Amino acid sequence: MCGIVGFVGSGGAIAAVVEGLKALEYRGYDSAGIAFASGEGLDIIKTKGRVADLEEKIPASTDSDVAIGHTRWATHGVPAERNAHPHADAAGKIALVHNGIIDNYAKLRKDLEDEGAHFASETDSEAVVLLIAREYRGDLVAAVEKVLPMLDGTFALGVVAADNPGLIVAARRGSPLAVGLGENANLIASDAVPILPHTRKVVFMEDDQVAVITADEVRFRADGKDVNPVVTEIKWSAEAAQKQGYDHFMLKEIFEQPRVLENLVRGRIALPDDISLPPELNMDGMEIPEQYFAGVSRIIMIAQGTAYHACMVGRNMIERVARIPAYPEYAADFRYRDPILDPTVLVIAVTQSGETADTLAAVRLARERGCKVISIVNVVGSSIARESDGVFYLHCGPEIGVASTKAFTSMIAGLYILAIRMGMVRETLSVNDARRRCENLVTVGHRVEGILSTANYVRGIAMNYKDASNFLFLGRGTGWPLAMEGALKLKEVSYIHAEGYDAAEMKHGPIALIDENMPALVIALKGRRYEKVLGNIQEVKARQGKVIAVASHDDNEIHKFVDDVIYVRADSGIMNSICCAVPLQLLAYYIACARGCDVDKPKNLAKSVTVE
Ligand code: F6R
């Protein structure tokens, strides 16, 4: 939620910050702004709307050595120019960009107003800049360090002062902040993407650290003293964060899935030539002793949104393969429910960004209660990755489209690998079975490629349903979380109201909704529950509902009962969930495009929910 960028070098700061803000627009896009050092002090340009609108307001020849910028997702105060960042003190001497929420802002604001300060916005962030201005005596680092203990809540801050040109002071607590270490130029950003065109050397700041950034040097401080940073070399290139000819990031990321899944699986699974030997599974830096898996009484998987749906799929895998009771939980509910935990409970946090506020808080709570926490994370160096006992990185590259696609299928593959590993340790899985599952998983990229080759056909089906106002998604077994994910994808990018249900629930309520205006997408792959799902399809048809079935490639009968069929080549549990996700993503994408929606930046949404 909200993205911040800062650049200090010799020239080029405005272009770098504007480009950086474009790369961070997935974090929020209701308003944007920039502050930069000009000959006379600080200039601030802000606008309601997108970064492109901001760019139009910046005179073409403007340049500076230092700039900070912000793209906003409103929390305190409506989207409006006055609430856009950067915020400045009344004299315009100090400017600040902020990502996060200041919980004690009302009290800070009242105290400042009592002292005679005037607020120009309704934001919590303005209180922070006014406090820094109040404490400023020519040393920006000292002023920032004095104010930080006064703040409750979360922040990633970038601060500049008119009489300290060539300096950015940055600080973080709870909101992500990366510092790029370049040649003759250094940067800050909410994630690594804006930094990559300049350098691959990145420091992910720790909570309560301050960074003092000039063109030639970056110093990190904690508790008022200099500290040594951990420098990470980012492996993927700046190009990976571009659209590369696709109309939207969402489509690009859907089409990246074969390669992403293949890399994920091949990087983790080695199959010895001797078929009597078990597969070797590389768990990517995880340091959980194997005996620990053996002693687990229960697994709790915590996540939000799409990642939660991946956990629902993961539950089935873990229970089937490792025979450990597993419970997916919304992190937000878990953290406030006073859950019953003990050290035999293993907690698995699943998150693309590694920054989701509720998931992070749930990780902290679980560790406080003595549980080991493993995280399955995409973003390297993110808060949840750093705060877990072990990390399984998905390495699926930057996911820029707000609707999660490749991270979802990667999470399922990651959970499956984890389940196989646990099954091997606990000996609930024979060598043969482990091997068979791994051999199957190794082909997943290829299978997904086959499904993507039918994208035009799915687009044709999408045109039949683009004017729907409501949609049901139904499935049983692992088809149920897939139905929930399909409904979530459709509603978030096309704004069609959609509900995902366990098809077994239909008779317990949702069937009342069925009529000719309520299409249903039914996941109807062959398997144990196939006949039951066919029964559900008949029930929908009997009430004049239109049905799209996602069916097995060799189902020669189903077309007789439904209006449209999308065939997928999938014949095992893991393949089913990954393969079924792909046509659901495509359907949501094509329907949204047909309705003229802004697919990569759906209204009211932001990619990382770093506030509660
Ligand atoms: C939906 C979507 C969200 C996220 C959720 C958790 O397409 O992307 O529902 O899945 O906000 O985000 P992460 O995985 O970053 O914790």
Cβ 311 under 6 angstroms from ligand 1 = no
Q: What separation in Å is there between the alpha carbon of 164 and the centre of ligand 1?
A: 39
Judged against a pLDDT cut of 70, whether residue 9 lies above it is answered with yes
| 193/301 same-domain check | no
| 133/173 same-domain check | yes
Q: What domain range is 156 assigned to?
A: 3-237
Last residue of a domain, one of 428, 451, 474: 451
What pLDDT, in 10s, does the model give residues 306-356? 999 999 999 999 999 999 999 999 999 999 999 999 999 999 999 999 999
Out of 383, 399, 410, 609, mutate this one to test ligand 1's pocket (max ligand atoms within 8 Å of CB): namely 609
- Exactly one of 2, 396, 438, 593 is catalytic; name it: 2
| 49/197 same-domain check | yes
Judged against a pLDDT cut of 90, whether residue 506 lies above it is answered with no
The pTM score is 0.83
- Exactly one of 46, 489, 546, 607 is catalytic; name it: 607
Confidence of residue 286 (pLDDT cuts 50, 70, 90): confident
Cβ 129 under 6 angstroms from ligand 1 = no
Q: Which two tokens stand for residue 7?
A: 């650049």
Best mean pLDDT range from 163-172, 263-272, 394-403, 569-578: 163-172
What pLDDT, in 10s, does the model give residues 370-406? 999 999 999 888 889 989 999 999 989 889 898 999 9
The strands making up 41-48's β-sheet, listed across from edge to edge, are: 41-48, 31-38, 66-72, 3-8, 186-189, 178-181, 201-204, 231-233
Judged against a pLDDT cut of 70, whether residue 574 lies above it is answered with yes
The answer to whether 514 and 520 are in contact (CB under 8 A) is yes
Last residue of a domain, one of 237, 259, 294: 237
Cβ 608 under 6 angstroms from ligand 1 = yes
Q: Is 602 inside any structural domain?
A: no
Q: What separation in Å is there between the alpha carbon of 308 and the centre of ligand 1?
A: 8
Q: Is 47 inside any structural domain?
A: yes
Cβ 345 under 6 angstroms from ligand 1 = no
Q: Which atom of ligand 1 is nearest to the CA of 359?
A: 16
Residue nearest to atom 16 of ligand 1 (CA): 351
Specify the CATH number for the domain of residue 410: 3.40.50.10490
- CA 325/CA 310 separation, integer angstroms: 16
Q: What separation in Å is there between the alpha carbon of 74 and the centre of ligand 1?
A: 18
Between 165 and 28, residue with greater pLDDT: 165
Cβ 356 under 6 angstroms from ligand 1 = yes
Task: Tell me whether residue 593 is one of the annotated catalytic residues.
Answer: no
Cβ 304 under 6 angstroms from ligand 1 = yes
| 223/84 same-domain check | yes
Q: What separation in Å is there between the alpha carbon of 152 and the centre of ligand 1?
A: 25
Q: What separation in Å is there between the alpha carbon of 607 and the centre of ligand 1?
A: 7
Residue nearest to atom 5 of ligand 1 (CA): 305
Q: What separation in Å is there between the alpha carbon of 502 and the centre of ligand 1?
A: 21
Q: Is 601 inside any structural domain?
A: no
Out of 253, 353, 489, mutate this one to test ligand 1's pocket (max ligand atoms within 8 Å of CB): namely 353
> Which of 263, 283, 312 minimizes the C-alpha distance to 448?
263
State residue 172's pLDDT score.
96
Cβ 609 under 6 angstroms from ligand 1 = yes
| 407/543 same-domain check | no
Best mean pLDDT range from 133-137, 391-395, 425-429: 133-137
Identify the H or E element spanning 131. helix 125-135
What pLDDT, in 10s, does the model give residues 236-283? 777 777 888 899 999 999 999 999 999 999 889 999 988 888 899 888
| 328/446 same-domain check | yes
Last residue of a domain, one of 176, 205, 237: 237
| 447/459 same-domain check | no
Q: Is 549 inside any structural domain?
A: yes
Residue nearest to atom 8 of ligand 1 (CA): 404
Which residue is associated with the tokens 């559900």? 536
| 441/499 same-domain check | no
Confidence of residue 25 (pLDDT cuts 50, 70, 90): confident
Specify the CATH number for the domain of residue 76: 3.60.20.10
**DSSP secondary structure, 138-187, as one string:** S-HHHHHHHHGGG--B-EEEEEEETTSTT-EEEEEEBS--EEEE-SS-EE
Residue nearest to atom 3 of ligand 1 (CA): 305
Q: Which atom of ligand 1 is nearest to the CA of 609?
A: 11
Q: What separation in Å is there between the alpha carbon of 419 and the centre of ligand 1?
A: 22
Residue nearest to atom 10 of ligand 1 (CA): 306
The number of domains in the chain is 3
- CA 388/CA 76 separation, integer angstroms: 31
Q: What separation in Å is there between the alpha carbon of 3 and the centre of ligand 1?
A: 16
| 468/375 same-domain check | no
State residue 212's pLDDT score.
98
Out of 27, 190, 306, mutate this one to test ligand 1's pocket (max ligand atoms within 8 Å of CB): namely 306
Cβ 492 under 6 angstroms from ligand 1 = yes
Q: Any bridge partners for residue 40, and if so which?
A: none
Q: Is 603 inside any structural domain?
A: no
Span 63-69, mean pLDDT? 96
| 102/223 same-domain check | yes
Identify the H or E element spanning 302. strand 298-303
Span 411-417, mean pLDDT? 96
- CA 597/CA 590 separation, integer angstroms: 10
Q: Is 186 inside any structural domain?
A: yes
> Which of 416, 394, 354 minimizes the C-alpha distance to 261?
394
| 61/203 same-domain check | yes
Q: Is 607 inside any structural domain?
A: no
Indicate the average pLDDT of the chain.
Answer: 93
Q: Is 62 inside any structural domain?
A: yes
Task: Tell me whether residue 438 is one of the annotated catalytic residues.
Answer: no
Out of 404, 405, 611, mutate this one to test ligand 1's pocket (max ligand atoms within 8 Å of CB): namely 404
State residue 486's pLDDT score.
98
Q: Which two tokens stand for residue 598?
A: 């802004």
| 416/501 same-domain check | no
Q: Which atom of ligand 1 is nearest to the CA of 403?
A: 7
Q: Which atom of ligand 1 is nearest to the CA of 304?
A: 6
State residue 1's pLDDT score.
67
Cβ 352 under 6 angstroms from ligand 1 = yes
The answer to whether 485 and 474 are in contact (CB under 8 A) is no
Judged against a pLDDT cut of 70, whether residue 502 lies above it is answered with yes
